[in-house]
Structure 1
């Protein structure tokens, strides 16, 4: 089974790429979805977050992700604490999903992992190829502000919490640039999938 990682910067267009891949019929393991599942009510991960960050982080039994984001972004020490709690759980759940697809006899699986390099997934040996979705800094900032209703400072702090996109691009096997229209991105992804299928 070939496993291809999709990563990039925050708001660089990873979701658009993975949605198109999913629509084309390929299985996609989504780390963002997994990261929500591991902090669902009743999980020990959620209990640990509550103990570390305080009772106010839970609203009606559910994690207040917006409040948690405000606490950790821009504070490296708190972000590290959160990562220490959640990262091993997310990695374990991703491994379980990959094992499931292998048992199902899938020949190609994609894995969307926003923090691929930050969490050192390249060292796991699970991946045959790494694709980085990139965009220029201004486009990335504008998209993030619009998408998450952030001011420029908040958006900048979230971008700075990740490895620079240039660094990620330097480590990629394939770079898909997303500075144009959605239609242009769609055409690039379709071309890429055709190459993967033929390769």
Structure 2
């Protein structure tokens, strides 16, 4: 049973598809958006629950000069190694799911709550374990070629590294099968905003 009196909408996409841009549009429109990435970053800060566990598994080489976890260094490890990526997720995700559930409960009287999760579709069974069910899933979509070009430009990486990151996730076209709504982000920001407004009018 959902800990929310209103509607819970999951927002997801693939790397460099523009999911964060859609989240920002929703916030500007006054909607509550719970961001799993922000929560995950908080959970690995010095003194936070997952910090010591990650160091025990990955070693102190992933720390910067101030003792913080170097996210770029950690990413370079997990995107090359599926088992290490799974170990990281096994450490961090329980804390993230519990915090998402807490925040949903905190805002349970809202008419609608958006939950922004990159791996939402991959982790649907985990959400059920925490009694979180999505009334709708909105997918921010671009084709893989556009995704790759944007990732290379955004993160200044090689084509090979970009493809490795993209293919570490479920293929974006596979995610379409699970989506209630598909937001096409292949055009400009004006087009994207119009789509979001139109979908809100149709479903909220």
Q: Would the aligned equivalents of 1:116 and 1:122 in 2 still touch at CA under 8 Å?
A: no
Within 1, Cα distance between the matches of 2:183 and 2:96? Answer: 25
Shift of 1:123: 5.2
Within the candidate set 183, 186, 189, 2:196 is matched to 189
1:120 aligned onto 2:127: no
Structure 2 stretches lacking a partner, 5+ long: 1-5
Deviations 1:30-66 (A, max 9, x none): 0110110111110231101101001111111211000
Establish whether residue 168 from structure 1 lines up as the match of residue 172 from structure 2.
no
8 Å CA contact retained: 1:87, 1:119: no
1:34 aligns with 2:39: yes
Q: Distance in 2 between matches of 1:112 and 1:149?
A: 25
What is the CA-CA distance between 1:122 and the residue it aligns to?
7.5
Deviation at 1:126, TM superposition (A): 2.2
Q: Distance in 1 between matches of 2:125 and 2:31?
A: 21
Tell whether the 8 Å contact from 1:4 to 1:131 is kept in structure 2 after alignment.
yes
Q: How many residues were matched structurally?
A: 195
**Which residues of 2 match residues 12-161 of structure 1 at below 5 A?**
12-59=17-64, 60-102=66-108, 105-120=109-124, 124=128, 125-161=132-168
Instruction: List gaps (5 residues or longer) in structure 1.
Output: none
CA contact (8 A) 2:13 2:141 kept: yes
3-state SS in 2 of match to 1:184? helix
- TM-score (structure 1 length as normaliser): 0.94
- 1:23 deviation in Å? 0.3
- State the shift of 1:185 in Å: 0.9
CA distance in 1, matches of 2:105, 2:157: 38
* CA RMSD between the two structures: 1.3
TM-score between both structures, scaled by the size of structure 2: 0.92
